[in-house]
Chain A
Amino acid sequence: MEALLNMWSSMAFDNLYWGNFVMWGIAFLFIYLAVKKDFEPLLLLPIAFGILLVNLPSDIMTEGQGLLWRFYHYGEEWAVIPPLIFLGIGAMTDFGPVIANPKTLLLGAGAQGGVYVTFFGALAAGFTIYEAATIGIIGGADGPTTIFLAAKLAPHMMGVCAVAAYSYMALVPIIQPPIIKLLTTEKERKIRMKSMRKVSKLEKIFFPIVTCIIICLLVPDAAALIGMFCFGNLLRESGVVDRLSNTAQNELMNIVVIFLGISVGATMPAEVFLSPKVLYVFGLGIIAFSAATATGVLLAKFMNLFLKEKINPIIGAAGVSAVPMAARVAHKVGQEADKKNYLLMHAMGPNVAGVIGTAIAAGMFISVLN
């Protein structure tokens, strides 16, 4: 009998409490959404498994010895993984639309308005200024940047902010269209934009070099993200290091996504996640996302007051990062108004500019607050 009791006490069952079961439910929901609904499965699935693992009583997240703690500590707390993801994103991104129409860079900045609206919302809700900045950056719709900023300013918010950011990124097709339609008239949505000029290889090579120099000088705290982003893009556009470019886009990206996802999920034990604060974060996250969409559209409308060749204000909504889903949504909304209006490539401009804009916004938060 004693042997049986000893065996029982060495098991983890006694350490379970109701909160763990709730978190299992959340993990199963995420697995369902990833597998069945195809909602950001590349990240949602590892995050879900991380949530499940950390809510099975074990030493897997114990400081200094747990496996997932090591992934989290060296990957995210040291802010290594987000820049590596940016390297991959840079290697995957074609900046042709931005180079052909540099005005769209401003739309990438406009959409950051949502970050600051939410920043003040979070402050009003009682969060500290560091937490408010981390919650605000969800509006940038950029997971790696959210994690990067959380690691620097509010590590305890990393898990919930990352999950909120990725959840809302997956919900772009649901959140954005009503806001776009509310802020634009049918006539505005029908605006056709001139087809883009062809961008030469040399222009594409110059772009990451120029971007890296300008942004790193202006916002040194964003250098890790922007530097890796531009380096990845240079690998792609140079055309002489296909092996490196392919590795950055595929193998390396896949490896870091595994470590990122599972360790972000592991930052959500029940005792941390099941608090009213989390509900606030999700509530503020959707405000961030909606406000970012709105400010992007409104800036596009404002720019139209001064431009000879009008831009379709729908593409302003693509200024939230969420590449390329936000651009696809803009294209789809445009086609609902005019079936022959092809906005996809035009929307890619603000879309990739949004990635740079969010990284700058994060860098500014770090330089002011850290």
Chain B
Amino acid sequence: MSLPLYTFVAGISGVFIGMILLQIFVTLSSKLAIYIDSKAEAKEK
């Protein structure tokens, strides 16, 4: 594979893989945060 093509494939897949992983982990971390918040709220009550 030529260097420009390799740069393109690596770059575009890197951007999309990064964003998909980020999407997954942001969703998971949000769920964790909501769980922690609800636990803390329940304790307060």
Contacts and interface: CB of A to CB of B under 8 A. Distances in A.
B19 A207 contact: no
A203 interface: yes
A218 B19 contact: no
Contacts of A108: 19
B14 A200 contact: no
Interface in B1-45: 3-4, 6-8, 10-12, 14-23, 25-27, 29-30, 32-34, 36-37
Question: Secondary structure at chain A's binding surface: helix, strand, loop or mixed?
Answer: helix
A269 interface: no
B37 to A, nearest CB: 5
18 contacts: A98-B26, A105-B19, A106-B19, A109-B16, A109-B19, A119-B7, A119-B8, A200-B33, A206-B33, A207-B26, A210-B22, A214-B22, A218-B17, A218-B18, A360-B15, A368-B10, A368-B11, A369-B3
Most central of A106, A109, A219, A363 by chain B CB within 10 Å: A109
Contacts of B37: 200, 202
Interface of A: 98-99, 102-103, 105-106, 108-109, 112-113, 115-116, 119-120, 123, 129, 132-133, 199-200, 202-203, 205-207, 209-211, 214-215, 218-219, 353, 356-357, 360-361, 363-365, 367-369
Contacts of A211: 22, 26
B8 A203 contact: no
B29 A207 contact: yes
Contacts, number: 108
A369 to B, nearest CB: 6
A129 B4 contact: yes
Question: Secondary structure at chain B's binding surface: helix, strand, loop or mixed?
Answer: helix
A205 B26 CA distance: 11
Contacts of A353: 19
Given A116-B12, A353-B19, A202 B7 contact: no
Contacts of B20: 106
A203 B12 contact: no
Contacts of B7: 119, 129, 133, 364-365, 368-369
A96 to B, nearest CB: 11
A108 B19 CA distance: 8
A266 to B, nearest CB: 30
